[in-house]
Amino acid sequence: MQNQKSNYFKNKSSRNLIILIILIIFIFIGVTSFLFLSLNSSSEQINKLDAEIDALRLTSLELKERAERVTNNFASGGGTVVRIFETKELGDVVKFEDYFSFDRYHLSYRSESKSEKAFNWDTKNRGRIVFDEFNFKLNAKTIDKYMSKPFDINSNSITMTGIAEVRFKFNVESLGELLPISKTGDVSEQAEFEIVKYKLVATDSGLGDANKFDNFDLTIMPNSVEAPSLYKAFGESETLTGELQFSEITIERSER
């Protein structure tokens, strides 16, 4: 009788153990399935978010391009400006082939005399001055205004203003060698560049490559504090302009 009871309890204990093991297995399978589904769901959500981010990025680029066009901020150009000056002794000329480049985000201008002959420059504010040497490089540091508008039926113009760095080396009769100096006015304190305000007005005739109807006028406006040497040479303002050759100026008409 005791053996029967003992076997009964042993069998019952075994069944309970088996049930517990089966229960644990089901729980493990359930937890594993839950984690698997959660990971898949998270992966799908991440992929969905990535797709939405990419779509927003494309939309922002399209809106930026559209905004630049609608606000008349689509213009660019580059090439050569030919300027002609009489030599000091007259009867001959010095030819400059300046280089320019601009768009919504930059403006650069480079001018250098490659002749050994001195030349006359009739300035706005200093009258006629004689240059024995001329080397000039301008790079815009800020673009405060950038606006295009129709010039006439076929043409468009762009106006840019801001602040620029000018690196230069002049040799001017009656003034001697002029180099960038510190805005403190100490001539012994040479600087790398001087700061000027600038204004660019360019015109696109809409007739293809540069022609006589295209125009590029770059005005610098030095002052005696930020640009003492340039101010000494040119006064309050001077415009660099000439005939465009091997150049292209493209200014989009307003789409508004």
> Do 96 and 214 belong to one domain?
yes
Show which of 17, 41, 70 is a domain's final residue.
Answer: 70
Q: pLDDT tens digit string along 226-245?
A: 999 999 999 999 999 999 98
Q: Which helix (H) or strand (E) holds 163?
A: strand 156-172
**Closest of 135, 155, 137 to residue 201, by C-alpha:** 155
Structure tokens belonging to residue 39: 């990971």
Q: Tell me the percentage of the chain whose pLDDT exceeds 90.
A: 47
> Do 80 and 64 belong to one domain?
no
Q: pLDDT tens digit string along 19-73?
A: 777 778 767 776 676 666 666 666 677 777 777 777 777 677 666 665 555 555 5
User: Distance (Å, rounded) from C-alpha 87 to C-alpha 95?
Assistant: 10
Q: pLDDT tens digit string along 113-128?
A: 988 999 999 999 999 9
Tell me, yes or no, whether 256 lies in a domain: no
Range of the domain at 32: 1-70
> Do 162 and 235 belong to one domain?
yes
Question: How many domains, the chain?
Answer: 2
Show which of 38, 70, 102 is a domain's final residue.
Answer: 70
> Do 3 and 88 belong to one domain?
no
User: Distance (Å, rounded) from C-alpha 11 to C-alpha 2?
Assistant: 14
Asked if residue 217 lies in contact with residue 241, where contact means CB atoms within 8 angstroms, the answer is yes
> Do 86 and 34 belong to one domain?
no
pLDDT at 210: 55
In which residue are the tokens 């009489």 written?
86
> Do 17 and 137 belong to one domain?
no
Structure tokens belonging to residue 148: 């295009």
> Do 181 and 103 belong to one domain?
yes
β-pair type (194-204, 238-241) = unpaired
Tell me, yes or no, whether 27 lies in a domain: yes
> Do 100 and 219 belong to one domain?
yes
Asked if residue 230 lies in contact with residue 219, where contact means CB atoms within 8 angstroms, the answer is no
Asked if residue 137 lies in contact with residue 109, where contact means CB atoms within 8 angstroms, the answer is yes
> Do 130 and 156 belong to one domain?
yes
**Beta carbons within 10 angstroms of residue 182's beta carbon:** 13
pLDDT at 67: 57
pLDDT at 64: 62
> Do 80 and 66 belong to one domain?
no
Show which of 36, 51, 70 is a domain's final residue.
Answer: 70
